[in-house]
Structure 1
Amino acid sequence: MTLPTPGLEFLAHVEVELDAPVDLGVTDAGHRRIVPIVGGRVTGERFSGIVVPGGADWQAIQADGAITIDTRYLLRSDDGADVYVRTAGVRAGPPEVLAALARGEEPDPSSYYFRVHATFETSAPRYACMTRVLTVAVAARRASQVVYDAYVVT
């Protein structure tokens, strides 16, 4: 038996607008930071729309500066369908690059590792296919945005 080799199919380009982070400091769960999501845009042939304000990224910051990503927010398609999205992943890299990101600088995305996977939930039949696939994304942090290209694993 030969199993199929997975591939990647482009789903969408996502630009998530962020507000200033709220740093909770070190809690029982570790160093916690919450980054409010205030808007954005999704563009792709299979799905296009906006990022609805109101979500957030509940980050856990590791001792070496790496961040565990845990976002939850709402997308609204150009044709009015709501899609709940949740991403999980990691942003890690050399200490000097992570320090530059923390200062709001925009180092080359190839100088650090920022990957997430996304899951979707919707009651809109035309987007139900998004709830039945595994999606991975490569991301970059900008001063007030996270941008990522999402791909369906075939």
Structure 2
Amino acid sequence: MKLKHLASFEVNLDPVLDLGDSHLGRRRVINIIGGNFNGPHLPGGADWQVLHPDGTATIDTRSTLRTHDGAHLCLSTNGIRHGPPDVLRRLAAGEAVDPAEYYFRLFCRFETGDKRYQWLNHTLAVASAARTPDAVRYEAYTLD
């Protein structure tokens, strides 16, 4: 198995909407308001995140992308972010934190009806991510 670079993503986010503690953990929704990946990342998606008592965040996003040549793609990511409590506090406070100080990884799945990109329907990708005060940046790699 080899990793092949697929794309660099920047996902711009609204402030966190905290729904409170449930039996699963602290539920948060973070709306996606735009971004890019060598093409626009369309508004309208969100991260339906669960924050667990130990500070671990379970990531579950859905968003729509438009490629440089007009194709529309649905992108779903699932992943996990965790780290030392002091690092997670700094992230939550909106501080710039070196991504080497915490673990943030994603699985990426794509869906499209555009024939030019249908190969993505049958491709799994993984990503290494970083959280900034108002965005998430990640590098995605296909699993070949």
TM-score of the pair, normalised by structure 1? 0.91
Deviation at 1:86, TM superposition (A): 0.3
Identity of aligned residues (%): 48
Q: Name 1:98's counterpart in structure 2.
A: 88
The answer to whether residue 48 in structure 2 is matched with residue 53 in structure 1 is no
Query: What count of residue pairs does the alignment treat as equivalent?
Result: 144
1:82 maps to 2:72: yes
Letter in 2 for 1:16: V
Among residues 14, 17, 20, which one is paired with 1:19 in the alignment? 14
SS at match of 2:86: helix
CA distance in 2, matches of 1:95, 1:19: 23
Q: Work out which of the two has the higher radius of gyration on C-alpha atoms and give 1 or 2.
A: 1
Deviations 1:114-148 (A, max 9, x none): 00011000000111111111100000000100000
**Offset from partner CA, 1:67-109 (integer Å, 9 cap, x none):** 0000001001111111000000000000000000000012110
Residue 132, structure 1, aligned to residue 122, structure 2: yes
Point out where structure 1 has 5 or more consecutive residues left out of the alignment.
1-5, 44-48
Show the counterpart of 1:62. Answer: 52
Residue 108 of structure 2 corresponds to: 118
SS in structure 2 at match of 1:97:
helix
Gaps of 5+ in 2: none
Q: Distance in 1 between matches of 2:73 and 2:62?
A: 11
Superposed CA offset, 1:37-59 (max 9, x none): 0000003xxxxx11100100000
In the TM superposition, what is the alpha-carbon distance from 1:30 to its structure 2 partner?
Answer: 2.2
Matched to 1:40, the amino acid is: G
Q: Over aligned residues, Cα RMSD in angstroms?
A: 0.8
TM-score, scaled to structure 2 = 0.98
Q: Is the 8 A contact 2:24 2:52 kept in 1?
A: no
Query: Is 1:38 the equivalent of 2:33?
Result: yes
